[in-house]
Amino acid sequence: MIVSSREQLKKLIPELSGVSGDEREAEFELKQLYAYVLGKSRLGAVELESPMKEEDEARLISLIERRKTHEPLQYILGEWEFMGLTFKVNKDVLIPRQDTETLAEEAERIIGERGYRSLLDICTGSGCIGISLAKRTGIGAILSDISEKALEIAKTNALLNGTDCKPVKSNLFSNIEGRFDVITANPPYIRSAECGSLQGEVLHEPRLALDGGEDGLDFYRRIKDGFSEHLNENGVLLMEIGFDQAESVNELFACCGNVRIIKDICGLDRVIAVDGIKI
């Protein structure tokens, strides 16, 4: 198809509707891909203008074809926004989600309120939690992950956002030294059986970052066993949880300190904060 007019560009929207859900989302995605191809900013209002150069047009069409296979928009663009900052992403890391901003916002609030100085972000992936907190509060942060490839992305993102977060390869706490005021984590928490039946875009994301074992709680158990050795007195542990895991995770951490559950903007249980920890 030759995309020589604005009208023809708009005809590409229905092509995307199947994967993106509805027309509005499809138009948004088309504009994101269009801006990406032309090297324009994707942020703010993007207007479709034509004619396009033939090679740009061919690229746009090929990206749409990729998107039609349910490859996530964020992996195609190679970057995504989180807490107002831009992060590089690829198939080695989970795509930063709006749900996770609930955790970052709560951590930011507590860091400001209590004047915390040091943060450990485990299962960091793209680094979006630790880096956005370092950038927005000035806290010193260590980013850790078991995946070397994820840590490479986190390292790039730390530099890109002008922070000096330190990457450490570690299987949860295995390689971590010292204590911190805040520990944050968005660990894998999907039940293994559900991982097998994930569909669409999530299938492109790293299973390592999603699979939380048989009941989805493996990582919470392991974090429970290890975190108190790495948390300062009066520190806080903040973790993302699945919408149906509040009760079980609460039960698990109840003996460690005061547990608070925080809901996301959809009103679903999303974050657990463990405070007043008895070390």
Contact residues for ligand GLN (CB under 6 A)? 97, 99, 186-190, 202, 210, 240
* Residue 225 CB, nearest approach to ligand GLN (Å): 19
* Residue 190 CB, nearest approach to ligand GLN (Å): 5
Question: In b/e form, how buried is each residue of 124-134, taking b as 16+ CB within 10 angstroms?
Answer: bbbbbbbbbbb
Pick 213 or 226: Cβ nearer ligand GLN? 213
Pick 72 or 187: Cβ nearer ligand GLN? 187
Pick 183 or 210: Cβ nearer ligand GLN? 210
Pick 12 or 188: Cβ nearer ligand GLN? 188
* Residue 270 CB, nearest approach to ligand GLN (Å): 9
* Residue 97 CB, nearest approach to ligand GLN (Å): 6
- Using CA atoms, how far apart are residues 76 and 240, in angstroms rounded to an integer? 26
| Rounded alpha-carbon distances, angstroms, from residue 52 to 37, 39, 56 | 10, 13, 6
Nearest Cα residue to 126 out of 105, 149, 107, 104: 149
Pick 133 or 209: Cβ nearer ligand GLN? 209
DSSP state of 146: S
- Using CA atoms, how far apart are residues 176 and 113, in angstroms rounded to an integer? 26
Nearest Cα residue to 125 out of 237, 228, 205, 243: 205
Pick 57 or 96: Cβ nearer ligand GLN? 96
* Residue 78 CB, nearest approach to ligand GLN (Å): 20
- Using CA atoms, how far apart are residues 77 and 59, in angstroms rounded to an integer? 12
| Contacts with 252 (C-beta within 8 Å, 6 or more apart), sequence order | 217, 220, 221, 224
CB 142 within 8 A of CB 180: yes
Encoding tokens for residue 258? 């005061």
* Residue 144 CB, nearest approach to ligand GLN (Å): 15
